[in-house]
Structure 1
């Protein structure tokens, strides 16, 4: 299936000069969504022995991470923006092009020796994925790899990530 044909390009969003890759058109297509989750599931099964937890970043990482965790027989852990989680959290700050941002995860979400896969819809500059990896590694968990639907190759996001496997379905 040609997944690229199901992704809409929106020029000048969220600001002039940016070409936004809109996955809502993929999500609304039942066959495309099924194919995406099934393909990602199979690639993860082929690549990793045992995944205990799938960690998804707010918010589109939730969309793909939850069904992937279900298919893999793993738990799902959300990583959120500040103030969204109700229990005690661990946090990490990271640099953006225009400032600093922060991500949080429940302190008791992961522990020593858990085998973790990080999932998001897209990797661009890699800042959010790298920060999520820091959160996972702070818990003593084993980061197995990353899975993304889309990779924007020209932005160098892979270079910011730890040296673990990175799976992607579509490259631009």
Structure 2
């Protein structure tokens, strides 16, 4: 069923009513944005996904979604676009010999993996996650996707937090976000 995407004003209204904010969580000074209210409202989620797909470039063959909320949002985006979905998972969650990349975070390090043989060379690909903050996880996912020699069309996020330097860690990568919010 193809329908017209909602207007920018309608999508902004959904942000105000469907993204909960929790000050000082998980630590003092952090304003946590919770997408659970959006996820539990089928009509609102459908509207946001329709709007989001209208922001993406044409010809996407694969969405790479970063664990875990990138799965929740990337899979319906892929479905709506008629594209395949490939998970970028935390280490130790995939069988076989997945492509793997260890990267540094603000407080420690992490490792991300993509299943072996899941992205054909030249595939028109977009990396998706719920949030762009400092950019470490997004940069690692993009670097890992490049190992498959894909044609990276960009990275896209439900929310981008301004002022945390996320964009700076993704030079040359076309970025889109449904909502750009102050930190």
Normalising by structure 1, what TM-score? Answer: 0.94
User: Structure 2: where are the runs of 5+ without partners?
Assistant: 1-9
Select which of 1, 24, 38 maps to 1:26: 38
Aligned partner of residue 100 in structure 1, secondary structure: strand
User: Structure 1: where are the runs of 5+ without partners?
Assistant: none
**Deviation for aligned residue 1:65:** 0.4
Cα RMSD for the two superposed structures: 1.1
Aligned length: 169
Aligned partner of residue 147 in structure 1, secondary structure: strand
Equivalent position of 2:5 in the other structure: none
Equivalent position of 1:14 in the other structure: 26
Moved segments of 4+, more than 6 Å? none
Select which of 66, 72, 77 maps to 2:75: 66
Query: Does the CA contact (< 8 Å) of 1:41 and 1:68 recur in 2?
Result: yes
Whole-angstrom CA distance in 1 between matches of 2:86 and 2:44: 24
Aligned partner of residue 14 in structure 1, secondary structure: coil
Deviations 1:38-91 (CA, angstroms, capped at 9, x unpaired): 0011111xxx23111000000000111001101111100000001111221111
Select which of 130, 155, 171 maps to 2:139: 130
**Deviation for aligned residue 1:32:** 1.6
Equivalent position of 1:35 in the other structure: 47
Normalising by structure 2, what TM-score? Answer: 0.89
**Deviation for aligned residue 1:109:** 0.9
Residue 175 (structure 2) pairs with residue 166 (structure 1): yes
